[in-house]
Chain A
Amino acid sequence: MTVLFKLSNITKSYGERQVLNAKALEIRAGNIHCLLGPNGSGKTTLLRIMSLLTPNDGGHLEVLGEAVNWQPSQLLRLRRQMAMVTQSSFMFEGSVYYNVAYGLRARKTPKKEIQQRVQESLELLGMSDFIDAPARYLSGGETQKVAIARALAVRPRVLFLDEPTSNIDPSSSLEIEQYIKHINQEYTTTIVLITHNFFQARRLAQHTSLLWEGHIIEEGPTRDMFHNPQDPRTRRFLKGEY
């Protein structure tokens, strides 16, 4: 399987405090790869580096087969193969249609195709009836579904999900998990999922990396990590002690 992300010795500090020191990480195409860990373990920093939103201080970063040089043209080209959904997704002022069409307009997609893709994406997430609704008046669960539809509309190779269900109720959360699985299977989109919920990691991810105080302390197939954790800190985390 193609390696989409290859990280070695990636570091990031804010002032004196080092928040990330990831020795090695590879993310393969087609997987749902979970970055699991307690709050403050460096998951979001790692995701922001991988999605090219935050430059790393040190180490080597390869994204979609290219060594990252942080040049605007490269960032644009690589980002156009990715999409992201965060825990409280930002919605632009305007309708659901305006938001879902945003990425397609940025790519200068013909209007007819935009209409078709927006419709398809919203249908997949069961949000077609909301197409003309003001995006900022949706509930938390609806906002997240629109954010996923918006990400999906640009047909990304990689979808980053940063705690996509942490602000919504359990039933909407399970519904969104179904969509995540569906997107991964039907569109063969690689998904990088951040969560501190190990049940969610177990339900969704084929592969999991456990982060601890900025370090990746354990990594492997999700099933193995849950059945036979190697690091004592992983065992404690899985017991819910953190």
Chain B
Amino acid sequence: MDVIGQGVKEGILLILSLDPELIQVTLLSLQVSLSALLVSGLLGIPAGTFLALKDFAGRKLILNIIYTLMGLPPVLAGLIVFLVLSNRGPLGEWQLLFTPSAMVIAQVLLGFPLVAGLSARAVMSQRQEAYDTAVMLGATRTIAILSIIREARMGIIAALTTALGRLIAEVGAVMMVGGNIQGKTRVLTTSIVLETRMGHDSRALGIGIILLILAFIIMLLILKLEKRSFKDDSTIQII
């Protein structure tokens, strides 16, 4: 219990100290995870929508692969990106290994299947009536599809929050392709690992608390966005 109490205290002190190194690590964590989320969203939402709405040979197989990749172990994602970006790998000449870009690529590998798979489920849960109503009111096919995405937005926002939760807390992939280099690729999660290995349990816990606060603030912002777009949605009344 002492370690936990000490950790909380350390966390508060760390925040108050405005330690420049910690600020840099926190900003890099945010930059990597939010960039990966942005790319995962930009690729995953259209891909999920396409898979949900377009019937073609192999669609079910692709969906199954995406659902499987939703559980891709971060270390494995890291290893794949490591092999591709290492000097012997096909993209070795890009010299991206041990840079924040490599960390973003590895995290996209983790975030994309989550966003695509959950977006596909959200769009698939929409009824045929939504599309029929839109086209019978004179919408073009594109507008009708956008209307379906709009109807599915609660599920899509859930997909993005789930992905963000996974990305910001992820350590295996960023450690493997980033290398946890001080001032270059060190992020909050890899800092926790490092501090724990060095026996600084309280400091590690303190950084963990900062990570949690960060995740809490981002989720709060997303939920606020969600609420704004669902003015007429209330919770289910259970009596």
Residues of A within 8 A of B (CB): 51, 53, 72, 75-76, 79-80, 82-84, 86, 89-90, 92-95, 102-103, 106-107, 134-137, 150-151, 154, 160
Contact = CB atoms under 8 A, between A and B. Distances in A.
Which A-B residue pairs are the 6 nearest by beta carbons?
Answer: A134-B232, A103-B137, A90-B129, A106-B139, A84-B136, A80-B138
Nearest to A76: B140
Given A134-B231, A137-B232, A92 B130 contact: yes
B136 A102 contact: no
B132 A53 contact: yes
Nearest to B233: A93
A106 B143 contact: yes
Nearest to A154: B138
Interface string B225-239: 000001111000000
A136 B137 contact: no
A106 B150 contact: no
B137 A83 contact: yes
| Majority secondary structure, B binding face | helix
A154 B130 contact: no
Interface in B131-169: 132-141, 143, 147, 150-151
B54 interface: no
Contacts of B138: 76, 79-80, 103, 106-107, 154
A93 B150 contact: yes
B88 interface: no
Given A79-B136, A103-B139, A150-B137, 7 more contacts: A83-B137, A84-B132, A102-B134, A106-B140, A107-B138, A134-B232, A154-B138
B136 A83 contact: yes
* Residue among A80, A83, A135, A151 with most chain B CB within 10 A: A80
A151 B133 CA distance: 10
29 contacts: A53-B136, A72-B141, A76-B140, A79-B136, A83-B136, A84-B132, A84-B133, A90-B127, A90-B132, A92-B147, A92-B150, A92-B151, A93-B151, A93-B230, A93-B232, A93-B233, A94-B232, A95-B232, A102-B134, A103-B138, A106-B134, A106-B138, A106-B139, A106-B140, A106-B143, A134-B232, A154-B137, A154-B138, A160-B136
